Amino acid sequence: METYSSQNEYLNAVTSRAVLPAGFQAGVTSLSFFPAEIDRAKEYKMNMALILLERPSPSFHALFTNNLFCGAPVIIGRQRLKEKLCRGIIINNKISNVAAPTGEADQEKVLATLGDTLKENPRSFLPASTGIIGWSLPVTEMCEKIPLLVSNMQKESLLPVARAMMTTDAYPKVRSVRCGDGVIVAAAKGAGMIEPNLATMLVFILTDLTVRRKQLATCLSQAAENTLNRISVDSDQSTSDMAIMLSSNMKPAIDRHTLLGALTEVLGKLAEDIVRNGEGVSHVIKATVTSAPTLELAKRAGKALINSPLVKTALFGNDPNVGRLVSALGDCFGSIGFRLPRRRLTLRLGGIEIFSQDRFQLDGETEVQLQAYLKECAYSLAGHFPPHNRSVEISIDLGTGKEEATVLGADLSYDYVKENASYRS
C-alpha cells in the first residue's frame, strides 16, 4: 500500500491529486449552532461544502444505501435522479438528518436557498449529510451561510471539500487518475475501523470526460461493486451512504472500457484509504477468495471472514488463531447450505499454507512465522503515513469454480470500542 514518510508529504500528494477537472468549482464554509435535541447551552460546529458545475450537466448518477431507515438526503437524492440536469452537490457534516421531525422539508429549504442564491432550479442540486442520527439540521444558520459559501467558490482544488466533510476521519482522502485529455478526481469521507456514525461513506467523483448519462451510471455501478462494496469494517450499512458522480463533459470522450478501468482504479484506492483511515485500526485485512462457484459466494465468504469478531480480535492480538478462520468460513457455508467438500478448501495466511486436505497444516515453526508476519503487518508509526503500509493477506481457495473476489476489512481493537462507546459525549 502507498505510504509517505510524513503527514506533510501525504498532504502534498493529496493536494496534487485534488486539482479540479475543467468546469468545476468547490468551496466550503462553517457555522455554529445550538442543537435543540440535547442541550441548547452547548455550541456545536458544522462545515458546509459545495461542489458546483459551471453549467448544469445531464451526465450524473448516484448510488445510495440500502438501509430502510435512510436519511432525508438519500430520499431526496433518489428523487433528484429523475431530473434532467444536475448543477452540483451541497454537503454538511455533524448531522446526518436521519428521521428528524421535519428532515426532508429542512433539507429542501437549504436547497431552495441555494437555488435562489445561484438563480438555479433547486431540483438540480443533490444533498449529502453525515453525522449524528436523529438530530435536526440547523436550517436557519445553514441558509444564512449560503451566500458566503457561494461567494467563496474556487476552481483549483477539491481538497477543502474533502476536509470539510470529515467527521472522525483522521485525514482527507482524495484520489485521481488522468485518462485521455481529462481527469477523474474523487474525494471520500468515511473512517475505517472507527465508524461511530455507522461508517457513513460519502464519495464524490468528478470528471471532465464526456460521457453519456446511461454509460456513466453503468460504469459507476460496476466500479463501485468491485471497490466500495468490497469493504466492510463493522458490517453495518449506514443510513446515509452515497456515491455521486458528475461530469462537466468538457473533454473528449474515451472508450467505455478505459473509463471503467480508470474509475475502478480511483474507487479502489479510495476504498483502501477508507479502511486504512481509522486510528483504531491495527491491522488492515485483505481476504481474497478464489476458485469459487459464484461471485456472490466469493464475496460472502470473504465478508464472513473480515466481519467475524473472533477473527478480528485474534488478528488485533497478533494471534494466528487459524481455527477461527476455518470456523468463520464453516459457519458461513453451513448457514447458507453450501456443501463444499471440506478437502477442497486451501487457506493461506501471508502466503503460508495453514489449512488443506481438511486438516490444519501447522507446527511450532509455522506458528512462530505467522506471529512474526502479523506483527510486521500491524500499525506502525515508524516512517509511514498513513500508518498502515501492509495488510494481512488471507487467501481462501475453494477449489470448486472460477469466480473470485477480494474484500478489505480491519481488526477489532480497544480503540474501536473506546471511540464507539463514547461517540456523542
Q: Between 100 and 166, name the residue whose CB sits nearer to a copy of itself.
A: 100
- Work out the number of other CB atoms within 10 angstroms of the CB of residue 214: 10
CA–CA gap between residue 92 and residue 109 (Å, rounded): 14
> Grid coordinates 509455522 are at which residue?
366
DSSP assignment string, 212-261: -HHHHHHHHHHHHHTTGGGB-SSSPPPSS-EEEEEEEEEE----HHHHHH
End-to-end CA distance of the chain: 34
For residue 298, the minimal CB distance to a copy of itself (Å) is 16
Q: Is 413 helix (H, G, I), strand (E, B) or coil?
A: coil
For residue 74, the minimal CB distance to a copy of itself (Å) is 11
Stretch that binds a copy of itself, among 111-119, 245-253, 320-328, 393-401 (CB under 8 A): 320-328
Stretch that binds a copy of itself, among 25-33, 55-63, 157-165, 191-199 (CB under 8 A): 191-199
Instruction: Decide: is 289 part of the binding site for a copy of itself (CB under 8 A).
Output: no
For residue 315, the minimal CB distance to a copy of itself (Å) is 9
Nearest to 20 by CA among 251, 224, 272: 251
Annotated catalytic, 200? Answer: yes
Instruction: Decide: is 257 part of the binding site for a copy of itself (CB under 8 A).
Output: no
In SS3 terms, 155-223 reads as CCECHHHHHHCCCCCCCCEEEEEEECCEEEEEEEECCCCCCCCCCCCEEEEEEEECCCHHHHHHHHHHH
- Burial (CB < 10 A; 0-12, 13-18, 19+), residue 163, is buried
Write out the H or E segment, with its range, that includes residue 12.
helix 7-17
Contacts of 273 (CB under 8 A, 6+ apart): 173, 175, 188, 386
Q: Between 53 and 275, name the residue whose CB sits nearer to a copy of itself.
A: 275
CA–CA gap between residue 63 and residue 229 (Å, rounded): 11
Q: Which of 29, 168, 200, 210 is catalytic?
A: 200
Instruction: Decide: is 260 part of the binding site for a copy of itself (CB under 8 A).
Output: no
Instruction: Decide: is 425 part of the binding site for a copy of itself (CB under 8 A).
Output: yes
Binding pattern for the stretch 87-116 against a copy of itself, x by CB under 8 A and - elsewhere: -----------xxxx---------------
Contacting residue, 218, 288, 313, 400, with a copy of itself by CB under 8 A: 313
Instruction: Decide: is 352 part of the binding site for a copy of itself (CB under 8 A).
Output: no
Instruction: Decide: is 379 part of the binding site for a copy of itself (CB under 8 A).
Output: no
Contacting residue, 129, 308, 346, 391, with a copy of itself by CB under 8 A: 308
Contacting residue, 4, 44, 171, 423, with a copy of itself by CB under 8 A: 423
For a copy of itself, the binding residues (CB under 8 A) are 37-39, 65-70, 98-101, 132-134, 195-196, 198, 234-239, 308-310, 313-314, 316-317, 319, 321-324, 326-331, 333-335, 338-340, 342, 355, 358-360, 362-364, 367, 412-414, 416-418, 420-425
Active-site annotation, residues: 200
